[in-house]
Chain A
Amino acid sequence: MSLRSYVIARLLLTIPMIMLLLTFVFLVVRVLPGDPASLHFEKQVNPQMLLEFKRQLGLDKPIEIQYVEYLVGLLRGDFGKSMQDFSPVSQQIFSAFPATLELAIFSTIIMVLVGVVLGVQASRSYNSVQDHSVRIFGIGSYAIPVFFLGEVMIMIFAIYLHLFPAGDRIYPGMVPTGLTLGGLHWSTGLYTIDSILEGNPSKFAMSLRYLFLPSLTLGTVLCGIFIRLTRGNMLETLQLDFVTAARARGLKERTVVYGYALRNAFLPILTMMGLQFAALLAGAVLTETTFSWPGLGRYLVDRISFRDYTAIQGVVVFFGILVAIVSLAVDIIYAYLDPRIRF
């Protein structure tokens, strides 16, 4: 099967999946509780006010029309209106998204780095104390609720040791501004990149400082699967003839392990990164809340306390679409790299 036909087939599969997801979310938010608008008001509310409220949000129309408007709106990038102030949810989403993206990126880096390095070390000392400890760590780290680990990190590193900040994304007033050339302004919303664009190393260092604890927390909790994957793969590969033959030629152990054996594990690790993305987002929700990180996750939790159901719907839909796109991208990259599909 050529690359092109694979991509097309994959795309065709993504569309019904997204549709299913959108419909599912719609059913949960608009149909399940009966009337999200009444639910929003805890106490009794003037029926006149309720009607006006519903009208503003488009919740007074029959359910089928609501569904169509919902889908059409999404195509235009409209994620609904907040129940709190009728402002477009998409605005909030797109302003909070870069923070979550940055957290996700750095958490992934830690997750993969820690996971792979530990996995390799464990595989090299098969059945030793080191091997067993790493394996236990891999299983155990996932058993720790990410927000508990976050709190512990804050306790130790921020409160007792004063090494890292306990929350937020950057010191007030130190937001990197990106690059301004002539009349054009380039900024990504990712503080690390923006500070580089701005040419301000102190802001760069600062943004890293603030990123460190949250990424470490989220990365640690999710690295277990990478440890297991790498270790398993390496154990298999290290048994293969060409690895023994390479050693027999006197190649350095480091070359053998990383150059020969790890190459094999590379593709599965890549796929796993894609698969873990959803877990990453879920974890981000809790991590952002713990570290007061101004991302989508914290926005979602925020909206819960305000009973802002339409906003919740918008965020959840956004998450769904995001995950679908990312897994599509990962699958395509994988297909591109896997020689079996190419040739």
Chain B
Amino acid sequence: MKIRRDVYQAIADPTRRAIINMVASEPHNVNAIAEKFDITRQAISLHIQILIDCGLLAVKKQGRDRLCEARLDRLGEVSIWVDQYKQHFEKKLDTLETYLEKIKNERNGKHTK
């Protein structure tokens, strides 16, 4: 089974969101990230790997350190889709607006008859 990796999967987990927040301000090495969380080093490595696969994180080797840097451009993708989702509710209100006009006309029509 092929596992799909996309930006949504990246941010669908609180630990991964916390890692993104950490490295967004400045690059951190993998050990420093692991120390901040109360979960196993292996679990952190897996989260980091998912973030890399999803294109939100890049790892650079610097001497013995492995530095994680944020690649935040792809997060824009999410806000675009959130906006689209919002549009869906805006459309509901569009329909309500049209319907209100129809009802108002119908009722005014009755009055004038």
- Same complex: no
A interface list, Cβ under 8 A from B: none
